[in-house]
Amino acid sequence: MVIKKMQPEDLTENDIRRFADSKRIFGRGESYYRRGKIRSMDVSRDKKEITAKVDGNYGIYDVEIYFDEDGISADCDCPYDGYGCKHIVAVLLEFLYEFKGDKKDNEDEEPWDITLEDIRGHTSKQSILDAFDLLKEKKVEIKSLTNKRMTAEIDEKITRHTYPWQKDIVGNAMVKITRGNYNLSYPLGTECNCTGYGRADCKHVAASLLAIFLQKNKKQISEVKEEFISQIRSERFNRFTRELDSISLEEPKVKHTRNYMFYFKAEKDTRPYSKFSLLIEKRCILKSCGLGTPSQVTTKFLKEYEDTIPNNRKRIFNSFIWSLENEERWRSSSEKLIKQNFKESDSKLLAEMRKLYMADPHAFENCVFPSEKGEIEIKISEEKKRKKSVLKLMVNIGEKKFQINKKNVTFLGKHPLWVSIFENEKNGFIIFELDCSQPEIIKKLAGFSNAELELNQLNAFIEKYYLTLSAIGKITLPENYDVEEQRFEPVPRLFLRDYGTSFSIELRFLYDKQEVLYTQKQDIVFKNDREKIIRIQRDREKEKEYFANLLDHHTTDCDDFLVPATDPYLWLVDVANDLITRGYEIYGASELLNTRIAPHEPKLRLEVSSGIDWFDLKGDVSYGAEKVPFDEIISHVNNHERFVKLSDGTRGVIPKKWLEKLSGTVGLLERDEKNGNAKASRSQIALVEALLDISEKSRVDKRFKQMKEKFSGFREIRNVSLPKKLDGELREYQKAGYDWLHFLKDFSFGGCLADEMGLGKTVQALSLLLYEKERGIKTPSLVVVPTSLVFNWVNEVKKFTPSLKVYIHHGSERVREGKQIWKKKANIILTTYGTLRNDANIFKNKKFHYVILDESQHIKNPLSKTAKKIYGLKSKHKLAMTGTPIENNSFELWSQFAFLNPGLLGNMDYFKKNFAKSIEKEKDEDKTKALKNMINPFLLMRKKEMVAKDLPEKQISVSYCEMDRKQREVYEFWKSRIRNEIETTIKEEGFMKSRFKILQGLMKLRQICNHPVLVDESFTGDSGKLNMLMEQIEEVIAEGHKVLVFSSFVKMLGVFRGEFERKGIRFSYLDGSTRNRKQVVEQFQEDPDMRAFLISLKAGGLGLNLTEADYVFIVDPWWNPAAEMQAIDRTHRIGQEKNIFVYKAITKDSIEEKILQLQESKLDLVKNVIAVDDGLFKKLNKEDINKLFA
């Protein structure tokens, strides 16, 4: 529509009135303006172009207005058929009063005089408190402030779900507040994009109102916040005193309050433009249980009796009030709740009333609300006497039929369309929803019900208009004019179209050759080739089954259409294929622009070449003519990604077969930084085989073929003869371990011999080295051990393999040059971890036959200097030996296997992400099982109770003791002090930097549990633990037993030393400073009068054979239970003939109880990850190898 000769500066309110299509539309547009329905509005600099978004009943509408030399033109995309709609009127009024700067005629407006009470009336207490923080951080900016409206922007990002699978940031919070709303409860209209549509009471609105308040009153934020908090406290205290005042100490008297019954009533309306009214009446319940005179409900009554109104009635009342407010006539507090004018937006009210009617029909008078929807029927009958045909528009509701005409029917709303019909025989109204897709046509045709035509015109009328009428409703024809009925099985069809970053899905059904939308309600009517009218009756039940099945397959119903409920690419590849197998036909996938799938199947080309310890993998994946680098595909598979982006914008599909074969394992591959190729370790041959299996073209070198043939010929671990010069016999399980070591050697794998302590790991390794010497191997092997085990290895060589020549590279007098070492022609070079760390340069360029690590947990930290030096050693074979492959966490395994079989468990970051975190924090059983299977062929662990049936019983028990009174006082003092210091340190420096402080504090508490003298030498009181242990030790010694006493603290050993000396108990002593370790051990083992052995847990937990003792006392628990088990196994080992009794001393109500709980959790980790072999032999066959390598 165009208004001639009109420029922006000339626009007046009267011009806008003339622009509107009617007075009613102008009034509604003015209401939209007053209620702040305009979401956004942009005006060009010259004010000649206006674009705006306006909230409507069914969405947001776009309005465009242009001023030019000829005048003004406007356009709106709302469904209204005219030109000057209410949305355009609202925008023009907004422009006139807010942008152009004019004041509305006869309008007496007050400035924004907002109080804290006003702000509290529109938002919650918490929103206001949060708002003060936004203001303090200067995140609130008032963009505009006029007498009618204010807009503000808050610097806080708002997110919203744009699709079921996608959440996007929509920008900063934007607030709009308008004045002039006639709602008594909320005189200001408040909106914020953080809540979507409707009134907002969020912190952003509160911050905007507070900004106006602060600006007007020139107050500081802190001052207003204090005032607000003071108000809240005062109100809370007043409520408290009111509660106290309401308390009566007298006998309660019976109170008589008025109760009411509420009725919903329909009445005929005498006004010419309305046929009926809905109203609410109340009747007082009398003391006699009768009902008083009916009267209409008003808003004043609702406020006074709000607490007595049932919730289901309140919902109806609120819907009534909301509906009346939209009529712009809700101004008086005595306004009656009577509804006379019905609009599109009143569908909600009618639906609420139907819901209440279904629950309580007795609460309604003169009206019923059926649950069914009315169905349209066009009935054509013949009146042969009059030679006329009559067309009647009918509506069927349940078993009732009504004729529709403008006299007896009132249409309510639009989408959905409701109908009210007066039933004369019942003197009441029936009000129901109409099931129709063309509500506007129904309204128009209602005026033509009972239309007549000549009988001879009927045939031509039916042929011409039957299809049109069938789109409106069911058609009933005279008998002679029945159409041909046909039935077919429906075929579901899905049509895909671009929609945002995804696509929409439209469901249709094919009946024979006729297609129909699922959302259409009517049967299919058409003319065949012979111009005969055919009606196909749809199978609605079958259609509903197909629709429900679609929703079960990652698809979401968005009312007008469907969308994928998962990643749209995954839907196209997985869901679509599944649906096709279920009978669906899918169209439009190849025409999609935003979610295009490459039409080509991927083809892998792979070349495998062998290095010394690695397989080099070179290749690429082709999608048609485009090639994707092999390492890029590997990265996608490792991240469980199904698609790779191609240069033309399409997505190449990674087949499910590839993911099933490779997911979770290809991440183990290394990347060669020199050429970009992938690298697989020799222990990952099954992974290479899996890649070759899915490749289209492949090429492998001779060495790989040979290794593959070797694996193909493997059946089980072979029985290997023992070396001829071995002194002594190997036990059955030791021989099985010896054979397993040969299996590892044959395939050039590194392995971890993890038998429990005392089962003879050393003799199994020495037997292997002796075998290698006897078959002519002259290259020396390097054995790295803790200092405490040097003499133990020397003794074992002398005892079992004296023909092996050993050179001990340790001590201050050791050789400093490699050449001198090699001249010694030793079979074994024996050194310690500390010595190797210092002399790494001597060994780094020498290739050994074997590198053997005893107590390999010494390299559990891969970043330690010791581990890095050991990783740099070169050898043909590698072996690790430890009774505790895991002490604290699964990552310790990675460090040891990084030495044994580099690459088997992937790189460090991969293992942490895919195994350590999943196993220890998330308790992922599948990942735990996978890790167990990966390491199982390369790790052998046997327990004493399984392989040494003759080994005596071992009993472990916990002895709890109470602290002495003074000891408890010292403990509580330090506990409180340490807690406070740690809290302060964490606040100031953060948790990571506070770890050392925390460990210091925990160690001090552990020392006090032993004896306070460990932290305060001036302490003169007793120790509950020392008293208990000394009593037990004296009793055991008196009975003729020998005891081992282990402690983590050398000072505590000193306390026991003093007690032993005072009581005349002879004892041996060993800690980290002891030099003559061998003599000390032999003295305890051989001297019957040496009854006790005081040992430092860390210094004496490894390599000692102390089978003379049969009682073990663990003075203080260590974080790692493995350390304690190592200590216990100094005596519970092969050669022990007596039962072993172990006592762990734990102080009640102390840090030691927490350590005990931690030990249990660490033991669970070891049990879950390490497979304990339940027999004597490592039973591996070909099937196991193929399975476990995968």
Domain range for 787? 732-941
Residue 719 falls within a domain, yes or no?
Answer: no
Residue 48 has pLDDT above 70, yes or no: yes
Find which of 35-44, 718-727, 1115-1124 is predicted with most confidence, using mean pLDDT. Answer: 718-727
Overall domain count for the chain = 8
Residue 1190 falls within a domain, yes or no?
Answer: no
**Of 66, 99, 132, which closes a domain?**
99
My answer on whether 978 and 929 are in the same domain is: no
Single-letter amino acid, residue 687: L
- Would you state the pLDDT for residue 1188? 30
Residue 474 falls within a domain, yes or no?
Answer: yes
My answer on whether 296 and 423 are in the same domain is: no
Residue 245 falls within a domain, yes or no?
Answer: no
- Would you state the pLDDT for residue 247? 67
Query: What gap in Å lies between CA 889 and CA 917, rounded to an integer?
Result: 10
Among 37-51, 131-145, 338-352, 689-703, name the one with the lowest average pLDDT: 338-352
- Would you state the pLDDT for residue 741? 94
My answer on whether 497 and 474 are in the same domain is: no
Q: Are 280 and 320 in contact (CB under 8 A)?
A: yes
Query: What gap in Å lies between CA 1 and CA 64, rounded to an integer?
Result: 12
Smallest CA-to-CA distance from 228 within 216, 214, 242 is with: 214
Q: What is the pLDDT of residues 925-940, one digit of tens each?
A: 777 787 887 788 889 9
**Number of helices (H), then strands (E), in the chain:** 40, 53
If you search the block for the tokens 């679509």, which residue do you land on? 576
What pLDDT band is residue 444 in, cutting at 50, 70 and 90? confident
My answer on whether 972 and 877 are in the same domain is: no
Here the CATH number for the domain that contains residue 817 is 3.40.50.10810
Of residues 215 and 256, the one with the higher pLDDT is 215
**What DSSP line would sit under 905-947, residue for residue?**
T--HHHHIIIIIHHHHTS--HHHHHHHHHHHGGGEE---HHHH
My answer on whether 1158 and 1105 are in the same domain is: yes
Residue 726 falls within a domain, yes or no?
Answer: no
Q: Are 404 and 470 in contact (CB under 8 A)?
A: no
Q: Where are the alpha helices (DSSP H) in 367-485?
A: 439-445, 455-470
3-state secondary structure of 155: strand
Single-letter amino acid, residue 83: Y
Mean pLDDT rounded to a whole number for the chain:
81
pLDDT average, residue stretch 767-783? 95
Residue 948 falls within a domain, yes or no?
Answer: no
Smallest CA-to-CA distance from 89 within 931, 97, 920 is with: 97
Strands 59-68 and 71-76, bridge-based pairing: antiparallel
Residue 546 has pLDDT above 60, yes or no: yes
Query: What gap in Å lies between CA 438 and CA 1008, rounded to an integer?
Result: 87
Strands 1067-1070 and 847-854, bridge-based pairing: unpaired
pLDDT average, residue stretch 478-495? 85
Q: How many CB atoms lie within 10 A of CB 161?
A: 9
My answer on whether 543 and 689 are in the same domain is: no
Among 237-241, 537-541, 695-699, 863-867, name the one with the lowest average pLDDT: 237-241
State both tokens at 333.
């507090």
Find which of 212-226, 637-651, 851-865, 1174-1188 is predicted with most confidence, using mean pLDDT. Answer: 851-865
Query: What gap in Å lies between CA 1162 and CA 756, rounded to an integer?
Result: 17
My answer on whether 1002 and 1080 are in the same domain is: yes
My answer on whether 1004 and 1123 are in the same domain is: yes
Specify burial of residue 1090 (Cβ count, 10 A radius: 0-12, 13-18, 19+).
Answer: middle
My answer on whether 920 and 868 are in the same domain is: yes
pLDDT average, residue stretch 164-190? 63
**Of 535, 567, 591, which closes a domain?**
591
Residue 591 has pLDDT above 90, yes or no: no
Residue 104 falls within a domain, yes or no?
Answer: no
Residue 106 falls within a domain, yes or no?
Answer: no
My answer on whether 999 and 883 are in the same domain is: no
My answer on whether 1111 and 983 are in the same domain is: yes
My answer on whether 1079 and 1002 are in the same domain is: yes
Smallest CA-to-CA distance from 615 within 686, 711, 696, 714 is with: 686
- Using alpha carbons only, what angle is made at residue 234 by residues 228 and 238, rounded to the nearest 5 degrees? 145
Smallest CA-to-CA distance from 856 within 947, 765, 732 is with: 765
**Of 99, 128, 151, which closes a domain?**
99
Residue 329 has pLDDT above 60, yes or no: no
**What DSSP line would sit under 699-728, residue for residue?**
EE-HHHHHHHHHHHT--B----PPPTT--S
Q: What is the pLDDT of residues 394-408, one digit of tens each?
A: 999 988 889 887 777
